[in-house]
A and B are shown apart, each in its own frame.
Chain A
Amino acid sequence: IFIQVYLAIYFLIL
């Protein structure tokens, strides 16, 4: 089973 990762895990929210 694959889980979708959110972008915010990688990038800083400014």
Chain B
Amino acid sequence: MLELRLVQGSLLKKVLEAIKDLVTDANFDCSTSGFSLQAMDSSHVALVALLLRSDGFEHFRCDRSLSMGMNLNHVSKLLKCASNDDIITIKADDDADTVTFMFESPRQDKIADFEMKLMDIKSEHLGIPEAEYQSIVKMPSQEFARICKDLSSIGDTVVISVTKEGVKFSTRGDIGSANIVCRQNSTVDKPEEATTIQMKEPVSLTFALRYMNSFTKATPLSSSVSISMSSDLPVVVEYKIAEMGYLRYYLAPKIED
């Protein structure tokens, strides 16, 4: 028996909007530690990892670990039927081939339930080793989204370079080139508006902007984003989900032939 009650149902709506364009089908894994997902995009270049810890749910019952295969477009369609302030409960029986999403209005005067068929999805699970990154940039998530959008009107790839002076996002294309430099500004009044750079070593990597733009669909989940880079690892773009966990995207770099 699985029963997860999430008071802030809008979080789940935002999570689905942030991953459905990158991944079509995925297994949602549920265990005593929480509700999680790990899935690669169809070209095996990017990976999305979600964790919603059990203690972030108002009620979390998971009698035994369960993996539920779902089509993310279908889940997104169902969740669009929930209002932003609805409480969402996910229910499934052990060995069931369906999952039920229940939406309750905050005043408890409207209750809707939607049953969805589960799918059998064979996915490759990747072991991601813990790593120390050479550079970690934390910046406002809206700023990062704006930069990725602006640069993609000029080029297809972005070079992200971190030095102690700041982080530089560069691109070039048929019409010309562009560089955007963000410097540390940790003295701003609101912490969420700060750009901070933890740098052990300078690092510069090239990525496909198409994926970066897809990651920025997670912007509504968090006011800040962290970008962790090492020269021999995929970049990690992380959006923290307040009090509950995270949504992380891993992207393999492009290397010069």
Contacts and interface: CB of A to CB of B under 8 A. Distances in A.
Contacts of A14: 124-127
A5 B116 CA distance: 36
Given A2-B257, A5-B254, A12 B127 contact: yes
Contacts of A11: 47, 126-129, 234, 250
Interface stretch (B38-46, B132-140, B239-247): B38-46
Contact of A7 (B44, B157, B254): B44
A1 B45 CA distance: 18
A11 B208 CA distance: 19
A9 B47 CA distance: 13
B255 interface: yes
A6 B44 contact: yes
Given A2-B157, A13-B126, A7 B253 contact: no
B256 interface: yes
A7 B256 contact: no
> How large, as a class, is the contact surface on chain A?
10 to 19
Contacts of B78: none
A2 B254 contact: yes
A3 to B, nearest CB: 5
Contact of B126 (A2, A3, A4, A12): A12
Given A10-B252, A11-B126, A11-B127, A4 B208 contact: yes
B46 A3 contact: no
B98 interface: no
A5 to B, nearest CB: 4
A7 B246 CA distance: 20
A7 B257 contact: no
Nearest to B156: A2
A9 B96 CA distance: 36
Nearest to B131: A10
A1 B257 contact: yes
